Structure 1
Amino acid sequence: MVTAKRPKMAALLEEPVFEISGQGPAPSKDFFQLLVTKTKVIWRWWKISLRSEFRNTVPGELKESHQDFVDDSSLQVQVSTVFGVKILVYTRNLCQGHFDYLDRLSEPLLLRVISFLDLEDVARLAQTSQKFKKLCNSEEVWEQIVERHCDTVTPEMRSLAKERGWKEIFFCNKLQLQMHISRKRLMQDHDNAPEERI
């Protein structure tokens, strides 16, 4: 029996896989860029100085394969010095094939995935990064959670959610929700009532 080969997950990654740039630590004013593609690590630098001997210095670039970068302790020290140990560890992990596929999914797809999680898992995922915190607290996610957990979602609830947010609607108990809806009705009735003439 012949089976079709599945593409490797890494083939689905967009280029570049990772990119960061910034100024070196003080007193240096030099500028650096670290770029990781599917096959290479590219390290670029620009000498920034007012001193005359550096005026004609051209930007530099070093390209290495992933394995060469993992073996190059000198370049790793430079990356760590400029961008910190966490970026170095992350870059090494990328070069060793440890890609964060979930973080690379599009926002609409991530929102769809999150909508299938239990509430406890949504809360845990929100603690993993700023990106997931934002997504897990988004109106889109909480609207889906309310629709999944409530028997009916009335137009009045939708209107109230626009003012207060779906997350607050979800955590309101039924009595509080009825109170909010009644208050909103009274305000609408008051706004729609004809003005009395004197």
Structure 2
Amino acid sequence: FLKVVRPLSLLLSVLGNLRSNSAFVLPKVIFRWWKISLRNKFHESRPGEIKESQEDFLDDSSLHIQIAIVFGAKVLEHVLNLCRGNYDFLEWLPVPLLLYIISFLELEDIARLSQVSRRFEMICNSNALWENIVENLCDTITPEMKELAQEMGWKQFFFTNRLQLQLQLRRRRQKQDAQNKKVTE
């Protein structure tokens, strides 16, 4: 017979238990599998299931081997880390919530956080974050300044000193005036 395991079943069971428990301690690990076969004697077979406490799962090397064979070593390591309580909740938070949290950090901390992972690098360098930071720290932002920031990027806009910004705004205004003058002629 052919044993097929639905790959997300184990992880979803583990994550479901993790989310439902307020102390973030996994009460059990559930490993489910389905047998799929063309033979008649297996048509009525029911799905298999193993439920173990986290302590028992951590000690069950035969189940570790099964999971590694079916899902791979990375999934096994991830599940073991979940059972040990090594879970990075920040990696799983939605981006809008992360942007909100990060906007309260100091600039040096944002720079350090951007080095943690590719995801955090992308978020820490995103226009959405820097637009939020600029809006929180600057008293007034004119529509002209917003247009310039969208052209050059909010992060670069934030780190550009005021004299350079005034010069760039003046050049931009002159360029638009010249274009408007050509259109009217």
Pair in the same fold by TM > 0.5: yes
* 2:65 is the counterpart of 1:77: yes
* 2:155 is the counterpart of 1:167: yes
Selected match of 1:89 from 74, 77, 97: 77
CA contact 2:5–2:70 (8 Å) conserved in 1: no
Question: Kindly tell me: are residues 174 and 61 of structure 1, through their superposed partners in 2, closer, same or farther at Cα, counting changes over 3 Å?
Answer: same
Partner of 1:8: none
Tell me, which stretches of 5 or more residues in structure 2 are unaligned?
Answer: 19-26
SS in 2 for 1:116: coil
Selected match of 1:122 from 110, 117, 127: 110
RMSD between aligned residues: 3.3
Matches of 1:132 and 1:102, distance apart in 2: 9
Partner of 2:175: 187
**Percent of residue pairs bearing the same amino acid type:** 54
Q: CA deviation at 1:169?
A: 0.8
Question: Kindly tell me: are residues 124 and 78 of structure 1, through their superposed partners in 2, closer, same or farther at Cα, counting changes over 3 Å?
Answer: farther
* 2:129 is the counterpart of 1:141: yes
Tell me, which stretches of 5 or more residues in structure 1 are unaligned?
Answer: 1-28
Q: Which amino acid aligns with 1:195?
A: T
- Between 1 and 2, higher relative CO (CA 8 Å, sep ≥ 6) is seen in 2
Question: Kindly tell me: are residues 184 and 94 of structure 1, through their superposed partners in 2, closer, same or farther at Cα, counting changes over 3 Å?
Answer: same
Q: CA deviation at 1:123?
A: 1.6
Q: Which amino acid aligns with 1:107?
A: V
Equivalences, count: 167
Question: Kindly tell me: are residues 161 and 46 of structure 1, through their superposed partners in 2, closer, same or farther at Cα, counting changes over 3 Å?
Answer: farther
SS in 2 for 1:117: coil
CA contact 1:115–1:145 (8 Å) conserved in 2: yes
Question: Kindly tell me: are residues 79 and 190 of structure 1, through their superposed partners in 2, closer, same or farther at Cα, counting changes over 3 Å?
Answer: farther
* 2:55 is the counterpart of 1:67: yes
Partner of 2:7: 32
- Which region of structure 1 is more displaced relative to structure 2, 186-195 or 110-119? 186-195
Matches of 1:86 and 1:126, distance apart in 2: 24
Query: Taking structure 1 as the reference length, what is the TM-score of the superposition?
Result: 0.65
CA contact 1:31–1:47 (8 Å) conserved in 2: no
